[in-house]
Structure 1
Amino acid sequence: MKTSITKLYSREIDRLTSEIEQYQNEASLWIVTENISNCAGNLCLHLIGNLNHFIGRHMGNTDYVRQREAEFNTKDVPKATLLAEITNVKEIVITALTNFSEEKLQEKYPIEKDGEIPSYELMLLHLLWHLSYHTGQINYHRRLLGN
């Protein structure tokens, strides 16, 4: 299971990279319209923070301190910076997953989610879905803007 999860995270983080790379106009990353409340740039920052916090810190033992509000309030981060942060978080995630034991996947994750304490395996699947969902929103945002 661990090998499959690791491959899926690598694939989905690469998709996030590809979506951000495809923005021709860097300013488009930060456009919010009347029907879209979160722009691609903020969704990207949110995913970076989410992965750093839930996998990097709680599985990879990094010292990351999440600033969730900043993920949605920060604007105009250069595209190159976003891409560098995605590359960094991918390395953190893959390292954490590679070093995590298969047996530990069934143990309780240290944070409550939706009123219960999930297993590491369930939390990883939830986080993978979250990554894929927001990457899809970024794809839609990019195409909606005609980029």
Structure 2
Amino acid sequence: MNNAIQSLSDLFERDLDRLLQEVKAYKKEENLWILEGEIANTAGNLALHLCGNLRHFIGAMLGGSSYIRQRDDEFGLKDVKRSELISQIKETKKSVLDTLAELPEEKLDEIYPVNVFGKEMTILFFLIHLQSHLNYHLGQLNYHRRLLDQ
């Protein structure tokens, strides 16, 4: 594995482990599903969204997995058991790390196979975007837990 892929792999592993820790840290399982005030997404929905996003854009699109994304469910499902969220996070981590481990270095400069933002981008650029997207929502989830899980 080259340095860029190894670095990305290390970051995805770190932050998916943090996502797992955040979900486990809720004192009450039902608090994963609280919506209050200006907070637009529950922690449970953010976890589902991150898993769906990464399993689709990395696992399926780059790794060729059979995962089929149900984006509406990522925000529409409620009261999914914590154990199911944990299972999905672990499956996501495996999918992401396995895909990155098999990704040849020369692919990083190729154009990502789907035009996501209305312009072409390299696989490396999109992987960096996906990692920052994970980190952004991870911060929201952490804030949600500290604010609403009292």
Give yes or no for TM over 0.5: yes
**SS of 1:60 mapped into structure 2:** coil
Whether 1:4 aligns to 2:13 is: no
Counterpart for residue 143 of structure 2: 140
Residues of 1 paired with 2:149 and 2:85: CA distance?
21
Counterpart for residue 84 of structure 1: 87
**SS of 2:132 mapped into structure 1:** helix
What amino acid is the match of 2:82? K
Residues of 2 paired with 1:113 and 1:53: CA distance?
12
Q: Percent identity?
A: 46
Whether 1:109 aligns to 2:109 is: no
Within 5 A, what are the aligned runs for 1:1-147? 1-147=4-150
Could you tell me how far 1:113 is from its partner in structure 2?
2.5
In structure 2, list runs of 5 or more residues that go unmatched: none
What amino acid is the match of 2:95? I
User: What's the CA shift string for 1:48-79, capped at 9, x where partnerless?
Assistant: 00011000101110011111011000000000
User: What's the CA shift string for 1:68-105, capped at 9, x where partnerless?
Assistant: 01100000000011001100110010000000001110
What amino acid is the match of 1:25? K
Residues of 2 paired with 1:45 and 1:20: CA distance?
11
- Could you state the TM-score of these two structures normalised by the residue count of structure 1? 0.98
In structure 1, list runs of 5 or more residues that go unmatched: none
Residues of 2 paired with 1:32 and 1:102: CA distance?
42
What amino acid is the match of 2:129? H
- Could you state the TM-score of these two structures normalised by the residue count of structure 2? 0.96
Residues of 1 paired with 2:68 and 2:85: CA distance?
18
Report the count of equivalent residues: 147
Could you list the structure 1 runs, at least 4 aligned residues long, displaced by more than 6 angstroms after superposition. none
Could you tell me how far 1:117 is from its partner in structure 2?
1.4
